[in-house]
Amino acid sequence: MSGVRRAGKSVLFQLYKEELIATGVDEDQIISINFEDLSYYDLRHFQTLFAYIKEQLIGEKTYYI
């Protein structure tokens, strides 16, 4: 999703996450990354981001990114 700053994109993602959890999706199956959080700074390169996501995937579950 893209759009201007402060338009509510993060709020929509949070609402979607809450809906997934309400319908029975385990929180461990939802991968959330806030690129404004400095702890995710290294994930700005697609190779590092891809490796990070692959590390989170366990088994044959469906994951939501």
4-61 pLDDT tens trace: 988 999 999 999 999 999 999 999 999 999 888 999 999 999 999 999 999 999 999 9
pTM score of the predicted model: 0.80
Which pLDDT belongs to residue 61? 93
Q: What is the pLDDT of residue 5?
A: 86
Phi and psi dihedrals of 8, rounded to 5?
105, 15
* Confidence (pLDDT) at 1: 80
Q: What's the Cα-to-Cα distance from 18 to each of 7, 21, 29, 40, 59, rounded to whole Å?
A: 19, 5, 12, 22, 23
3 pLDDT above the threshold of 90: no
